[in-house]
Chain A
């Protein structure tokens, strides 16, 4: 069973590597790259929201700080992108500690409200610190990532959509790999225990505050990475891209896909990036449809798309599977 799954995942990865040679449409690649960046955002938000169970609205702040840090280091201090990217992650991490350390002692809705405030503070700073960030005018002319040179033999540039697609794909896979490993580890179990029952988690020796901060930090690091990838792809950033609405957008990706699952947020991110394009004809109603979609998912599929897929899969599986399922339902 698990080896069968492994083969399917391997096939998907191979397919993703050949995708730009199959579909050569430039607009499609643009959407694929943007989806990839949002997949990183959704996967990382899922760590704090889906696994540790703490609703956070300041993912846009980490995304924004990552984007601005990376862009400013490259433009003003002439740093290489390859150094600016990890520094963007560090900047997001530092912000996570500043926000998380005092606020993660709060529970549930109180923590969520603090994160709303923090997202707004960061956006205001980006908006008003005109000397550094360009304020509402944003930062234009961000250079693309520096080429990788291996002697004189081989040069890898990132100024085409195709090459940037591969760059983002590698970072998506790296993020996925690290987050899967972490969620299967001691830390991942601690996050789930905190989400399920804080008092119980404390009684078995889990440091509640420490692990909440860890979840928040992991979440922020990858959001910072996504910010850097975004800035050097779009080549123009402004505070408009890093508002609370952006946080909510990523939260929707996680919820619609399936909180606390690995594949769910990936689906959610691709769906919600592609959907506004598909619905371009009714672009003005985009947010109305978003809201409607969220409501329908919460009412009919409280576990998100993943839960729905699992339910469908179990319908199609062989008799023994259904019997086992029936048995477990009968007992509840």
Chain B
């Protein structure tokens, strides 16, 4: 059953066609990879899916609902959440506070609850705290819980970025190059975590440059080049696809 279906998705920046009539779908529980050379439009697709950019054309269905043109916060609330290629967390506050901020769209207590400390707010606070500890434990960050985010190691910051996104309770994750700049053992750990996140019932769409990662964990791969989808298939099929090879290595004519 498809969680995400995009059809004819197009984005123009002035005269540049960054994403050109791309179609694909992602089934519930899958890990799907999006690959392509630099400038292929991968990150633009993410920005379109999360409502940061308004598509020039096309439709995005998430969980059977048309979310095209929704605001970013509405998309997150629906359960479609992204992470970033760069390390992005709230550096100047403690790790635990980072996590609690992640629960933003899942909490109800408003201004009055905060000022008068209503009972429902206390129940909600406690439940957020418990869930935050569980996520920190899952991501191997429990020992850093009271440290400022800027004082923890780089690879822990990367995991923290994903942990905060997990606190929003996504149905589907868009991971933008989660292993970029990591050493082999850190990469292995991240691959294990991505698998474990999928086990928790979150569908994953992954942008990745590291072929070992893509070929290792993705069930299906979508290849973009110059904004066009040029191939889609299993890792085996993609590895042998002449168009993909040409896009990555340069074809005879262009060379």
Q: A and B bound?
A: yes
A80 to B97, CA, bound (A): 44
Question: Could you say which residues of chain A place their CB within 8 Å of the CB of B92?
Answer: 196
A207 and B115 form a contact (CB under 8 A): no
Q: Does B131 contact A (CB under 8 A)?
A: no
Interface residue tally of chain A, by bracket?
A: 20 to 34
Q: Which of A168-200 contact B (CB under 8 A)?
A: 178, 181-182, 184-190, 192-193, 196-197, 199-200
A332 and B150 form a contact (CB under 8 A): yes
A178 to chain B: closest residue by CB: B115
A205 and B76 form a contact (CB under 8 A): yes
Given contacts A196-B90, A196-B92, contact A328 B148 (CB under 8 A): yes
Hey, what's the 0/1 contact readout for A189-217 against B, CB within 8 Å counting as 1?
A: 11011001101101111110000000000
A193 and B90 form a contact (CB under 8 A): yes
Which secondary structure dominates where chain A touches chain B?
A: helix
B114 and A206 form a contact (CB under 8 A): no
Question: Could you say which residues of chain A place their CB within 8 Å of the CB of B89?
Answer: 197, 200
Given contacts A181-B114, A200-B89, contact A186 B107 (CB under 8 A): yes
Interface stretch (choices B27-35, B98-106, B134-142, B208-216): B98-106
A203 and B72 form a contact (CB under 8 A): yes
Given contacts A196-B91, A328-B151, contact A204 B76 (CB under 8 A): yes
A10 to B164, CA, bound (A): 36
B101 and A199 form a contact (CB under 8 A): no
Q: Does B229 contact A (CB under 8 A)?
A: no
B107 and A202 form a contact (CB under 8 A): no
A200 to chain B: closest residue by CB: B88
A192 and B90 form a contact (CB under 8 A): yes
Residues of A at the B interface (CB closer than 8 Å) are: 178, 181-182, 184-190, 192-193, 196-197, 199-200, 202-207, 328, 331-332
Residues of B at the A interface (CB closer than 8 Å) are: 50, 52, 71-73, 76-77, 81-84, 88-93, 97, 100-102, 104-105, 107, 109-111, 113-115, 117, 121, 147-148, 150-153, 164-165, 167-168
Known: A185-B109, A204-B167. 5 other contacts (CB 8 A): A186-B104, A202-B52, A202-B73, A203-B50, A204-B101
